[in-house]
Amino acid sequence: MVSVKTKSVLVDEINELIGAVGDKFDSAEGDAERDYMAEHCPKRLEQTVRRLPTLGMHLLAHIAENPVSIVGLAARSGQLKGTASKHVQRLVEAGLVERSPIPGNRKEVVLSLTADGRLINDVHSRMHDEMKRGVGEFLSRYSNAELSVLTKMLRDLLATEKVGIRIALRE
């Protein structure tokens, strides 16, 4: 005899599983992504990649697309200009980004990656490719229909907002 779970039981199970998945991937065992970066960069850059905020890593990727101004970087990355500027200063101090004047413009500068910045960006990109392959291998066991349902649920979950301690649909 096949047991059919009620919607209420399934919702409770999903709620518990979301918490368990979050706990599993927020483990206190260290930071696997930082470890990967440190292992795949030259030893001299190990402390840099361990201290660099995640947003800094992602800003490197945006700068790598094409040299860009702070305003352009903020727009490209979806960050506030002040946030982008603060992180760029850290990247410059770390020797990963350089500022160059724009001829005829005394206010603005163009940002580009240094050799170390390109190296870290390349390793970071390879890390994301490896992570994506792992997710792909894991999800390959599911049918297209199952993946479509999961995609819809995750999109719907992302479209919610937290109101107090509850999630609610955005209005």
Give pLDDT tens digits for 89-148.
999 999 999 999 888 888 889 999 999 999 999 999 999 999 999 999 999 999 999 999
pLDDT for the residue numbered 123: 97
Q: What is the mean pLDDT of residues 74-91?
A: 95
Phi, psi at 165, each rounded to 5° = -105, 5
pTM of the entire predicted model: 0.79
pLDDT tens digits, 29-59: 568 899 999 999 999 999 999 999 999 999 9
Q: Which two tokens stand for residue 35?
A: 């470890």
32-140 is classed CATH 1.20.1050.10: no
Domain spans, the chain: 32-140, 142-171
pLDDT for the residue numbered 28: 54
Calculate the CA 12 to chain-centre distance: 29
Phi, psi at 88, each rounded to 5° = -65, -40
Q: Sign (positive/negative) of CA torsion 9, 15, 17, 19?
A: negative
Phi, psi at 4, each rounded to 5° = -105, 120
